[in-house]
Structure 1
Amino acid sequence: MAAIPTEKPHFGVLDDVKIVFAAMEEAIPRACNIMADWGADVTWLENTGYGDTVRDAKNAAQAERRNCRSVQLNQFTPGGKQVLLDMLKDTDIFFESSKGGTWDRKGFTDEDMWAVNPKLVIVHCSGFGKFGDPDRVKRPAYDGTVGPYAGFTCQNGTPEQPMITMPYSGDYINSYLLIGASLAALRKAERTGEGESIDWAMYEGIMYMSQYYLVDYLNDGINWGRAGARNQNLCGIGVYKCKDGFIALNLFGIRQNKWIIEELGLGDQWGTPDLPEDTASLWLSMPIAKEFEKRLEAWLLERTKLELEDILAEHAIAAQSVLEFEDMVKDPHMAARGNFVEWETKDGETFKGLSPMPRFEQTPGKIWRPMPAKGGDTVDVLTKLGYSKEKIDELVAEGAIAVGEN
């Protein structure tokens, strides 16, 4: 079996950006993996013991650690700290995730990093940030616990029970925000020559992106409550049962509302004080809301998913049958856009996953290497930093690094 490539080819909108991250599982690693798909040169620091726990989820790991190098490092040993500082000399963005303030407490400060690279963007990601209530700051946190704290979980589920949203939506919300914030800070560093340090609290990322109903509570004292598969305050929005499955509707717009009102036999209500002719949103508070939903449900149950998609599209109503995974892989639109691709793993097996997204038409992303072995790039990266074989062996003996084989 040929070794997987070590020299990143030139491609993508982030081709000249170098990233190092020390984090496990989802939020930061997914952000870095996306940027790797866009052409960034990304090195993944795994601990010298069990490595990144994402490896337990073998398919997710293969999908979300492609295009990355793996270096096993204990940066809190003297030798490991020096290795990381050497790596950061020409790095643009460094990400780490831990409980707030961990790196400062362990003697690895932003100032240490800026001493070797004044333009470095540093992102410290934790559940609750570096400061605030001391008890809160030091608590462990995952997607499934910061969402409930951020007021995200309480907005999802049924009136009887809130629910988490999967797969790991809190992590992935933060992933895209981390990309935006780190690249914004990099733009500032390039403009001014001065680095930036970002104190990233995951709960703030989730709260920031789920404030739609929160601000109703803050300003008007309104708590819309949980509505299960339907919208909290509007008719015709949500997932409904139809003749052969489920369909998602987003009913909005004056002409769309007029048509469906008439189609459901409620046309005499259109243009009344309760339902003026310029009604763009059908509120659950309107007098006919209960009857409207009852008739809508019955109308949908009489028709198949595909019939409904065609009928509703004809009247400019957004509607989509709920695709299962087996539907997605057969879908002609996804096939035409090349959403599903295959690549070879380091062990020579064929892996099926997603193409780099979004589609940069002039400077596309690409998959240039599969997920490496744990520590599979340690020797290569350190050798390119100027470390001799003898020095690498010393660092292994010290426990500062560990070495795998790709």
Structure 2
Amino acid sequence: MKSSEIPKFGPLSDVKVISFGLSVAGPYAAAMMADFGADVIFIESPIVKDQFRTTDTLGLLNKERRNQRTMVLNITDPEGKEIFLKLIKDADIFIENGKAGAWNKRGLPDEVLWQTNPKLVITHVSGFGQTGDPEYLSRGSYDSIGQAFSGFMNMNGEPAPGVPAPAPAYMGDYVAAMQASWASLAAYINAQKTGKGESIDCAQFEALLMIQAAYPSDWMSYNFERKRAGSSNPSYAGCQPYQCKDGYIYIFFLSTLTHKKGLPLLGLEFGTAEFPVENYVTMKGTPSGDLLNQRLTEYCAGRTVMEAEKELNDHGVVSSAILNYEQMKEHPHYKARGVFTEWDGIEGKKVKGPAISPRLKNNPGQIWRAAPNYGMDNEDILEELGYAPEKIKELYEKNILKQDLTC
């Protein structure tokens, strides 16, 4: 597919992004831009296929490589490097994920890329960053490794002596990707004003550190350590899952208004010594906290999830059923918002999954293309760069290009 065939939509329709990497953290930063109209060219290796192409499910490939063009290019070959620099010449953003210094070793440090394109925004996504202790800079990382090194994992799991646990679904990768995506766009805006590009160092473990609320500061500044609390809040009573007749509900019993309206529902009185008017929260581990937790446990045990959820929220107690995917699929609010949608899958049939989020009123994103097959757009992209068919054939023969239209 040529760039002229890409539909114009979204706020990023004039932005060109080159993405190079495997798995989640770096590529997903570019994938979010593709959903909002950017022309994203995903460069893959002719030696190692994108991990999403080799997993036991195509769900990730269908979701996170949609709306993109792809090219399989050997950038370690001099001719491949030349093609890469031609792509960079009119790109706005380049996103890569690899170990520190990987692009220096390839002879493509930031300075070389800026010689080709002074306005280029270069975003390096890695586990441990581009600077620091050499031992760590040379290490690889996956989602759980970032969670472990950042302290994030130490906050999850059952209370000691229980085992720390990683948050599922690649949270560390996605948080790093979102940080990389917004930073890339912020730098892009500045580059358009100043004519000068930027180099962004996005370390996965630091992205995870940034979403730990005040926990790190509480310890560094006040020597106050928040400890693992399993499924309940580490500090506040009434903030945890409770079992109902037919499932689980999560309740967050917080705020003065919640106490004022919610305590009478539990047979408790607001404005007493146990629950004074000035209290915003009831602390866990106190007599009042134990009493609140006991009453909530008894209350939920006598009701279905939907009964408890409706009555609690009607009385100012923020709560939600803990939904599974089947319940989400049939939920009236999910249906009313169109949370799930379907689009063309790489295997030639429709696939279903989350619609584009967040939602823009005036320039919404859209899904316009299935995830491309391996090397599917090689010829179209090279023709745009001025390569003749005979030269493209030669590049295939030299294994600088590669293609497999079955996956």
Q: Does TM-score exceed 0.5, indicating one fold?
A: yes
Structure-2-length-normalised TM-score: 0.94
Amino acid at match of 1:29: P
Residues of 1 paired with 2:88 and 2:13: CA distance? Answer: 17
Residues of 2 paired with 1:374 and 1:285: CA distance? Answer: 56
Residues of 2 paired with 1:343 and 1:132: CA distance? Answer: 43
Name the structure 1 match of 2:203: 201
Identify the range of structure 1 (58-67 vs 332-341) with the bigger mean alpha-carbon deviation. Answer: 332-341
Question: Cα 1:12–1:296, aligned 2, differ >3 Å: closer, same or farther?
Answer: same
Report how many residues are paired.
402
Structure-1-length-normalised TM-score: 0.95
Name the structure 2 match of 1:249: 251
Name the structure 2 match of 1:161: 163
Question: Cα 1:319–1:4, aligned 2, differ >3 Å: closer, same or farther?
Answer: farther
Name the structure 2 match of 1:30: 28
Aligned: 1:137 with 2:137: yes
Name the structure 2 match of 1:20: 18
SS in 1 for 2:94: strand
| 8 Å Cα contact 2:19/2:27 also seen in 1 | yes
- After TM superposition, where is structure 1 displaced by more than 4 Å over at least 4 residues in a row? 3-6
Amino acid at match of 1:231: N
The two structures, once aligned, show a CA RMSD in angstroms of 1.8
Deviation at 1:324, TM superposition (A): 0.7
Map 1:160-309 → 2, pairs under 5 A? 160-267=162-269, 270-272=271-273, 275-309=275-309
Residues of 1 paired with 2:311 and 2:149: CA distance? Answer: 42
Deviation at 1:384, TM superposition (A): 0.9
Name the structure 1 match of 2:328: 328
Deviation at 1:276, TM superposition (A): 2.4
| 8 Å Cα contact 2:2/2:381 also seen in 1 | no
Question: Cα 1:347–1:161, aligned 2, differ >3 Å: closer, same or farther?
Answer: closer
Question: Cα 1:110–1:171, aligned 2, differ >3 Å: closer, same or farther?
Answer: same
| 8 Å Cα contact 2:40/2:68 also seen in 1 | yes
Question: Cα 1:220–1:405, aligned 2, differ >3 Å: closer, same or farther?
Answer: same
Question: Cα 1:369–1:154, aligned 2, differ >3 Å: closer, same or farther?
Answer: same
For each residue in 1:277-314, what CA deviation from the matched residue of structure 2 results, as whole angstroms up to 9, or x when unmatched? 12111111543212221222121111111111111111
Amino acid at match of 2:7: P
SS in 2 for 1:271: coil
Identify the range of structure 1 (289-298 vs 182-191) with the bigger mean alpha-carbon deviation. Answer: 289-298
For each residue in 1:192-246, what CA deviation from the matched residue of structure 2 results, as whole angstroms up to 9, or x when unmatched? 0000001121111111122432221112212221111110100111222112100
Residues of 2 paired with 1:175 and 1:123: CA distance? Answer: 10
SS in 2 for 1:229: coil
Deviation at 1:64, TM superposition (A): 1.1
Amino acid at match of 1:397: E
Q: How much identity, in percent, do the aligned residues show?
A: 37
| 8 Å Cα contact 1:147/1:153 also seen in 2 | yes
| 8 Å Cα contact 1:377/1:404 also seen in 2 | no
Residues of 1 paired with 2:247 and 2:349: CA distance? Answer: 36
Amino acid at match of 1:21: S
Deviation at 1:6, TM superposition (A): 7.6
Deviation at 1:30, TM superposition (A): 1.5
Residues of 1 paired with 2:224 and 2:244: CA distance? Answer: 32
Aligned: 1:146 with 2:146: yes
Question: Cα 1:84–1:332, aligned 2, differ >3 Å: closer, same or farther?
Answer: same
* Unpaired segments ≥5 residues, structure 1: none
| 8 Å Cα contact 1:20/1:45 also seen in 2 | yes
SS in 2 for 1:71: strand
Map 1:377-388 → 2, pairs under 5 A? 377-388=377-388
